[in-house]
Amino acid sequence: MAITIRDVAREAGVSTATVSRALRGLPHVDPQTREHVARVAAELDYVASANASRLASGRQGTVAVITPSLSRWFFATVLAGIGEVLQAEDLDLLVHSVEDASAPSLPSERRLRGRVDGVIAVALPSGDAQDLRGIGVPLSLIGATADGVPSVTIDDVDAARTATAHLISLGHERIGLIGSGDDASADSAGSWRMEGFREAMLEAGIPIDTRLHADGGFTVDGGETAMAALLARPDRPTAVFALSDEMAFGAMRSLRRHALRPGNDVALIGIDGHDLSGLLDLSTVAQPVSDMGRMAAEQVLRQWRGDTPEPVRAPTSLVARGSTLPVAEAVALA
């Protein structure tokens, strides 16, 4: 068995209560005593049992992150941002990836209850937030919102409108869209981006042709498949809006296969501001992803302090690159 607080107490010639107070930096401890206890504890290489202290105190020192993916860029980057803040606060990071959308947050709610004192949910399907709130600890959402729940999002509608308007400003009218199947129903980032797309098209008076919508499942491979489907159409789009950069990357792969050049043969734009979008010369609407992770973590910390953080809207910015060349240039290069 490992060293317990009693061993330290005995060795130091004090009570366990004093050891506990001394080691945790609580007041009402003689400096001499504290130092002595600390020394003994160090000598014995004592480490308090997290289970025991958590059981006794009710504090968990742990924040759980619920995310649909660990490997996709957006989520990995958000996680890194969150981890940064938690690490600084010496908090544990418990990761729950819920790849399978069929297994909703209900199990998460039960698994997490009593084990964490904060939860950050990324891209949580709307509605599940209430379940999560049942855990009874501070909650913060990223890429989703819920009434009365702190959140960090971008203005997805606006971002998508901007992206679409950019394509339109270049003279495109047959604009394809690569999104995800569930975008229509859930009010998720995907659905908001769809909405922004619609608004932009409407404003421009361009009729929407849903036959030019393809499902990319928010993955690179999915984006490739989706683009392939679009290219297979007789009335191939002249421009494509992918709801994420990774899907746009996949689309690029497909274009390459078809010996088509993004920007010249088919205009292409995504959303994210992915690390590699610059290298791939992909136009995009960038969002400050790791910052968003950090902000969500801060929201949790603030709630512990009794604060009630307002939902935060992170800024986005259009970054026009080679994949959306002005038509003149595209023609010149052709």
Interface ranges with DNA (CB under 7 A): 1-2, 4-6, 13-18, 20-21, 23-24, 27-30, 32-34, 46-49, 52-53, 55-57, 59
Looking at 253, 258, 302, 321, which residue binds its own copies (CB under 8 A)?
A: 253
At a CB cut-off of 8 Å and minimum separation 6, what does 186 contact? Answer: 125, 126
Distance (Å, whole) CA 211 – CA 308: 45
Per CB under 8 A, 55 contacts its own copies: yes
Contacted entry of DNA, its own copies, none for residue 256, CB cut-off 5 to 8 Å set by kind: its own copies
Q: Is 319 left (phi over 0), alpha (psi -120 to 50) or beta?
A: beta
Considering only residues 59 through 88, tell me which ones interact with its own copies, judged by CB under 8 A: 60, 69-71, 73, 76-77, 79-80, 83, 87
Contacted entry of DNA, its own copies, none for residue 33, CB cut-off 5 to 8 Å set by kind: DNA
Q: Toward DNA, which CB reaches closer, 1 or 279?
A: 1
Looking at 7, 23, 36, 97, which residue binds its own copies (CB under 8 A)?
A: 97
Contacted entry of its own copies, DNA, none for residue 29, CB cut-off 5 to 8 Å set by kind: DNA
CB 243 within 8 A of CB 219: no
Per CB under 8 A, 110 contacts its own copies: yes
Per CB under 8 A, 113 contacts its own copies: yes
Quick one: tokens of 294? 């950090």
Give the shortest CB-113-to-DNA separation in angstroms.
10
Amino acid at 156: D
Residue where the block lists tokens 């060349």: 325
DSSP 79-141: HHHHHHHHHHTT-EEEEEE---TTS-HHHHHHHHTTT-S-EEEESPPTTHHHHHHTT-S-EEE
Contacted entry of its own copies, DNA, none for residue 18, CB cut-off 5 to 8 Å set by kind: DNA
Give the shortest CB-213-to-its own copies separation in angstroms.
23
Q: Toward its own copies, which CB reaches closer, 45 or 147?
A: 45
Amino acid at 142: I
Give the shortest CB-76-to-its own copies separation in angstroms.
4
At a CB cut-off of 8 Å and minimum separation 6, what does 111 contact? Answer: 96
Residue where the block lists tokens 């010149």: 332
β-strand 213-215 against 151-154: which pairing, if any?
unpaired
Per CB under 8 A, 106 contacts its own copies: no
CB 183 within 8 A of CB 243: yes
Residue ranges in contact with its own copies by CB under 8 A: 2, 47, 49-52, 54-55, 60, 69-71, 73, 76-77, 79-80, 83, 87, 92-97, 110, 113-115, 220, 249, 252-253, 256, 275-276, 278-280, 290
